[in-house]
Amino acid sequence: MKMEKFNKVIQELKKIGIVLVTLIILSKLIFFKEDFLVVIKFWFTMFWSFVLPGFLIMTIFREKFDFIERLIIGSVLGLAFMSLVSYVIGLIGIHLRIHGIIIPVFVVGLYLYLEWKNGER
């Protein structure tokens, strides 16, 4: 049962991946004067830094809200959460330069750990 839930999240992450790729391709058409690499960097950073952490946090509510609602609110939540955590850890001395890497890694790691613990039970 727990593995089934985890697999559902993996399926949803694949959908997010499809959204990311679609946005990158369409953005390149829209921002036609822009270098493709910049378009990729922008959306990848957006998804890595905000959408992914926020969506993983929203898996807590997967029984209550559908995928679309969790993706939209998760994106905004990810932006808010990352910004707040970044501000606080900056004040305690961790340089802003690495926040965009360590915070998502921490959130993903924590999520995987909690899923594993739930699976063990």
**Residue with Cβ nearer other proteins (6 or 67):** 67
**What CA–CA distance (Å, rounded) separates 31 from 8?**
34
Considering only CA atoms, which of 75, 97, 72 is closest in space to residue 86? Answer: 97
Q: Least distance in Å: CB of 120 to other proteins? A: 23
Cβ at position 107, least distance to other proteins in Å: 13
Q: Which of residues 93-112 bind other proteins (CB under 8 A)?
A: 93-101
Which of 3, 38, 112, 114 is in the footprint of other proteins by CB under 8 A? 38
* Near other proteins in 50-79, by CB under 8 A: 60-61, 64-69, 72-73, 75-77, 79
- Give the list of residues 6+ apart from residue 27 with CB closer than 8 angstroms, or none: 39, 42, 43
Name which of 3 and 25 has its Cβ closer to other proteins. Answer: 25
User: Judged by CB under 8 A, does residue 86 bind other proteins?
Assistant: yes
- Helix 99-120 vs helix 2-30: crossing angle, to nearest 10: 150
Residues found near other proteins in the complex (CB under 8 A) = 19, 22-23, 26-27, 30-35, 38-39, 41-42, 44-45, 48-49, 60-61, 64-69, 72-73, 75-77, 79-84, 86-87, 90-91, 93-101
